[in-house]
Amino acid sequence: MTNVRLPEPRGPLSAALTAVLREPESGLPPVPSETDPYGDDLQLALFILYELHYLGFDGVRDDSEWDPQLLALRAKLEDLFLGALRADVPIDASETATQALDELQLEPIGEVDGSLSHFLRDHGTLDHFREYAALRSLYHLKEADPHAWVIPRLRGRAKAAMVAVEFDEFGAGRADQIHAQLFADLMADLGLDTTYGHYVDAAPAEALTTVNLMSLFGLHRALRGALVGHFATVEITSSPASRRLSEALRRTGAGPAAVRFYTEHVEADAVHEQVVRHEVVAGLLADEPQLDADVAFGVRATGHLEDRLAARLLAAWRDGRSALRTGRITQAVLGT
């Protein structure tokens, strides 16, 4: 049994899905072809379906994970989501994983208009950071879990290197060093609720897409190259962004546990970047060179969705508004 509650529906798809999860006799309606692939309703429904493969939900049967009608629904939603991504992030025959990864290593000088980490470092408040952490908790409280799906789909050099990086992500054998626990410590330091999935209802669709992308890639063997591309993107961009975020937290007076999460990632991910690029990616492509374009697609799709999330958050913050669907995190929530 889990203590994770089902999120509140955001439309007919997610409403029908939550009804079926509570009462399996209920039926699921067809998915309209005009459904917005990036919209709240589809992305929440997909998020719920993916969570059945992680911790599940309170009051929902464990065997719902493999329920045929739920898997059929998931496949339809994934087709819409993946179709939109392929249309928005086309990869031509000449593009390679090397080119896509090289671009990630070009660090801009000074402030970048669409960068969350630059904004938080230079202008962010603790309230901004609480919102940022609340949204990122949808992934960071299960950090590295989606990427672990790819391990049995790799071989030799790529597998060995992937396991080495994941070993670090999971605390190198120490429960208190698991990165998900370090993020929970950060949240507690910022006065946020550390319950897994607590902030799902507050998350706009743009935040859900970034988490759903990992599960989409991770749960499909056919997308193993894209998952490796996603993982490489995370590791290559993490160290410089984490440095900026640790600077932001120090500037705004956050506690040591909050700062520690990002300082840990500055050093660890600088090492991981080299291992992932030269062993995981290179090892995969040496073994399966036909996946080169898939790795590039994983890199580009990750950047595309991160840019959409950044635009949503920065537009709200620069306008003096909360970026959360539920409004600002109130003092009543802080310290729970």
Determine phi and psi for 256, rounding to 5 degrees: -65, -35
Q: What's the pLDDT tens digit per position in 90-134?
A: 998 788 999 999 998 776 555 567 899 999 999 999 999 999 999
Q: What secondary structure does DSSP assign to 64-114, as a single string?
A: GGG-HHHHHHHHHHHHHHHHHHHHHS---TT--HHHHHHHHT-PPSS--TT
Q: Which residues contact 93 (CB under 8 A, 6 or more apart)?
A: 293
Contact 114, 319 (CB under 8 A): no
DSSP 228: H
The token pair that represents 51 in the structure block? 């969570």
Q: Which of 143, 160, 300 is nearest to 225 (CA)?
A: 300
Q: What's the pLDDT tens digit per position in 47-63?
A: 999 999 999 999 999 99
Judge whether residue 71 has pLDDT over 80.
Answer: yes
Note the pTM of the prediction, 2 decimals: 0.94
Out of 3.40.1190.20, 3.40.50.620, 1.20.910.10, 3.40.640.10, the CATH code matching 97-318 is 1.20.910.10
| Alpha-carbon dihedral angle through residues 270, 184, 199, 1, given to the nearest 10 degrees | 120
Contact 73, 49 (CB under 8 A): yes
Sorting pLDDT into bands at 50, 70 and 90, what band is 331? very low
- 3 state SS of 203: coil
224/45 Cα distance (integer angstroms): 23
Output the pLDDT for position 333: 45
Judge whether residue 217 has pLDDT over 50.
Answer: yes
Judge whether residue 332 has pLDDT over 60.
Answer: no
Please give the span between the terminal C-alpha atoms of the chain, in angstroms, as a whole number: 22
Q: What's the pLDDT tens digit per position in 9-29?
A: 999 999 999 999 999 887 898
Q: For the chain, what are the domain ranges?
A: 12-88, 97-318
